[in-house]
Amino acid sequence: MDPDPDLAARLTRFNADLADGNLESGDTVGFACDLLVAGLDTPAMRELAGEPPVQQRASETYDLAQQMLVELGVELMDRERADWFLGREAARKVLAGAPRSEWDGHTFRITLQFSRDDDEVYWALARYDSDPEPFLAYAREYVRMADERLGAP
């Protein structure tokens, strides 16, 4: 069964968050339950869905979550690929005009990428509310670079 586009996007995001270490055990257990409800089913998914979400450490569900993705035929992301994916996601929110509350705190990958050359990116971010164009230029360039590394979806 091929997942619908929304579910496929959630699988990709889960894969990135898992590679980046951004998930708590409750997140992984809840996601496995969501996948079962959506009609997907693998042995690792069933086992993960049966775990108590609040009593497990993320490290205890990590291997099982990875196995679930493998069983679904999802290529596991490494940390570098996850960084580019998550940074591109944040940059796209900025470019789409999402409220700052949806991306503030998630742009560190963008600022780190460009601060290697100079600190102007930090000033551009600090002045975003009064003059968004300089930071938007960084966000556009980040998306271009990420698309080059990841392939444009």
Calpha distance 29→90 (Å, rounded): 25
pLDDT attached to residue 1: 46
pLDDT, one tens digit per residue, over 83-103 is: 999 999 999 999 999 999 999
User: pLDDT confidence of 45, banded at 50, 70, 90?
Assistant: very high
91 with 60, same domain: the answer is no
- Higher confidence at residue 43 or residue 59? 43
The secondary structure of the chain as a DSSP string is: -PPPHHHHHHHHHHHHHHHHT---HHHHHHHHHHHHHTT---HHHHHHHTS-TTTS-HHHHHHHHHHHHHHTTPPPPPHHHHHHHHHHHHHHHHHTT--HHHHTTS-HHHHHHHHTT-SHHHHHHHTTTT--HHHHHHHHHHHHHHHHHH---
Together in a domain, 48 and 110: no
Residues 57 and 103 in one domain: no
- Percent of the chain surpassing pLDDT 70: 93
48 and 105 together in one domain: no
Q: List the structure tokens of 94.
A: 């900025």
Q: Pick from 54, 71, 88: which residue ends a domain?
A: 71
More confident residue, 46 or 119: 46
Domain range enclosing 125: 79-150
Q: What is the mean pLDDT of the chain?
A: 90
Pick the last residue of a domain from 48, 71, 94: 71
* Lowest-confidence pick of 19-33, 61-75, 89-103: 19-33
pLDDT tens digits for range 104-145: 989 999 999 999 777 899 999 999 999 999 999 999 999 999
Whether residues 34 and 94 fall in one domain: no
Do 92 and 64 lie in one domain? The reply is no
Token pair belonging to 35? 């996948």
Q: Assess whether 144 and 124 both reside in one domain.
A: yes
- Number of domain units in the chain: 2
Do 143 and 104 sit in the same domain of this protein?
A: yes
- Residue with more model confidence, 4 or 54: 4
Q: pTM of the entire structure?
A: 0.87
Rounded to whole angstroms, how far apart are CA atoms 143 and 115? 16
pLDDT at 56: 59
How confident is the model over 71-77, as a mean pLDDT? 95
Query: What is residue 121's predicted lDDT score, i.e. its pLDDT?
Result: 94
